[in-house]
Amino acid sequence: MGVALRTRWPWVCRDQPLRPWVNMAPPMDKRVNHCFMAGFRMRLGNGEGSSLWLDNWLPDGGPLSARFPVLFSFVHCKSRTVAEGLRDNAWVKDIRGGLSIQAYLDFFALWDLLSSIQLEPEVADTAVWWPAKNGTFSVKSAYYLLFAGRTRCLLGKIIWKSRAPERCKFFMFCAMKNACLTADNLQRRGWHLAPICHLCSKDIESCTHIFLNCAFSREVWGLVRGRIGFLHAVPDDDLPTWWCAARKVVTKRERKTFDAGVILVTWLIWKERNARVFDGRASSPACLFATIKDEWETWLAAGLIPPP
Ligand SMILES: [Zn+2]
């Protein structure tokens, strides 16, 4: 509730910018800032009250700084208003330095975007709090906003209680929430790259594909299954469902070890994908299986996994 209450202050500062105490505003902490930025919009009129790069004023949402983060890193003057920026395309002068390819792509996309913006000189910009129906901030709406994106990861408990190292648990948590930076997720963030899976070079790369449906990964899972005599089928269409069912046939004592094994295989498949993308190195399923065995031995030696 404290965060929702404190979000009122930045809101009032933007909604009533001419009040004398506005400059006395205490510094915002990160959580208040995130809550405020998530609910705050500027409804564009003449563009004189909205920050070009930092305010959320685009009709389809998102400040330019978040929408074009690479280009934004080259922006020198971040305080320009929308009106100033659009006048004779002055925003172009804000960008300094030798641009990267991605920054050029951002630049051209932004050029198209800003070319379509029409200002209304007679109308002032207005602050809008979109979670509230009347567009005005209320603590209640901020409170609901704080919990709006909360989702439960069914496997969260299993992952965090497994015997795998912390970095692998964190990776697995992201993988189960479909949050790894696979080609489909990068495209959604505006990156322009070939969406083809680097492991099989056949299908579109996504978390589900890489860890489940990919022919390469299925071969690796098959090798793991064959060598340890594990009778459960290779993961099919849904890794969380398979995982929940598979661990039930393992004795309770060995479940945390089994969970660590699932995490290890998934993690090393992901590392293999990254080695192909970033280092140009590719291993066969048999080589990757050997790496999995070596890593498992290391976990055993480190005491993470109890000896069989
Ligand atoms: Zn594939």
Mean pLDDT of 34-54: 87
pTM for this predicted structure: 0.52
pLDDT exceeds 60 at position 1:
no
236 phi/psi in degrees, rounded to 5? -110, -95
Least confident residue range of 43-52, 59-68, 122-131: 59-68
174 C-alpha to ligand 1 centroid (Å): 19
pLDDT category of residue 269 using cuts at 50, 70 and 90: very high
| CA 38–ligand 1 middle distance (angstroms) | 36
pLDDT(224) > 80: yes
pLDDT of 287: 95
How far apart are the CA of 216 and the centre of ligand 1, in A? 6
Residues 268 and 175: their CA atoms lie apart, in Å, by 12
The pLDDT of residue 26: 67
Tokens encoding 136: 């005005």
Confidence of residue 267 (pLDDT cuts 50, 70, 90): very high
Give the relative orientation of helices 215-228 and 285-301 as an angle to the nearest 10 degrees.
Answer: 50
Comparing C-alpha atoms, which of 285, 154, 282 is closest to residue 216? 285
Tell me the average pLDDT across 215-236: 74
For the chain, the domains span: 2-148, 156-301
241 alpha carbon to ligand 1 midpoint, in Å? 20
Distance of CA 160 from the midpoint of ligand 1 (Å): 28
Task: Report the percent of the chain where pLDDT is more than 70.
Answer: 89
- pLDDT tens profile 272-282: 998 998 888 89
Average pLDDT (198-204) is: 88
Counting residues of the chain whose pLDDT is more than 90, the rounded percentage is 10
Q: Which residue type, as a one-letter code, is found at position 178?
A: N
User: Residue 83 Cα, ligand 1 centroid: separation in angstroms?
Assistant: 47
Q: Any idea which of 86-100, 152-166, 250-264, 285-299 has the lowest mean pLDDT?
A: 152-166
CA of 223 to the centre of ligand 1 (A): 17
pLDDT on residue 294: 92
Distance CA 287, CA 290 (A): 5
Q: In 3D, which of 41, 71, 75, 46 has the Cα closest to residue 58? A: 41
Q: Which residues does 249 contact at the CB level (< 8 Å), separation at least 6?
A: 231, 232
**What length does the chain have?**
308
